[in-house]
A and B are shown apart, each in its own frame.
Chain A
């Protein structure tokens, strides 16, 4: 009897995991993007520059090194899609949204640490894949964003 049940379980369980991953993964991503958009709007007044120059016509009150980081992973469904993509080639959209979310989240966390600053100079961002699952596929990435926050004194 077991012989007839086994194939059903073998296909059924991964399929169930993929369906669960599809539903929860999509919900989590949508919620994350909503929160990213909201916070990006709030922090729009804090400019981030990736050059080393800064305005020197005002008096500097405080200088601070700021950083933000996040480890983020994609769901099984997207990983499955990415696996299919490797057959035909082309842009792997499921990974594009993963790195996009990671970078924006890390940048936001960095900005949130110094929301009273006037600007952030020499902004740098580093991305690394920290865990590789089976078949060396990228499972999750770490994004580390850092820069130097400058606050000018308001009197003068």
Chain B
């Protein structure tokens, strides 16, 4: 599965459009990470726990979108966009969407 955030896949031609595909996940931080993060907050620097958490969540959302695209018979998703919103205190939703297409190598 090829993902791009431009309107095409370089080096290929789009032969079929399948419409919008989306993937989302809502994640909450857990207490252990929260304690570590609040300690790290004193000295500053990267909060690795949170970085991993958000990476994992984005990957999951992306995987869900890819699964949906595969079901439709697509082999690429173009114009991928990300959106984040907090749904509740301490929980946030990660949303990813794009257009599923089938592309063919240019001769």
Contact = CB atoms under 8 A, between A and B. Distances in A.
A51 to B, nearest CB: 9
Contact of A32 (B9, B45, B47): B45
15 contacts: A21-B43, A28-B43, A64-B2, A65-B3, A69-B54, A73-B37, A73-B40, A75-B42, A76-B43, A121-B6, A124-B5, A140-B47, A144-B82, A146-B5, A148-B4
Q: Chain B interface mostly helix, strand, loop or mixed?
A: mixed
Nearest to B40: A73
B4 A63 contact: yes
Given A121-B6, A122-B5, A148-B4, A28 B54 contact: no
Given A63-B11, A67-B58, A69-B58, A74 B82 contact: no
Nearest to A102: B46
Interface of A: 17, 20-21, 24-25, 28-29, 32, 52, 54, 56, 59-61, 63-65, 67, 69-76, 78, 105, 121-122, 124, 126, 128, 130-131, 133, 139-140, 142, 144, 146-148, 150
Interface centre among A65, A72, A142 (most CB of B within 10 A): A65
Contacts of A78: 44
A17 B42 contact: yes
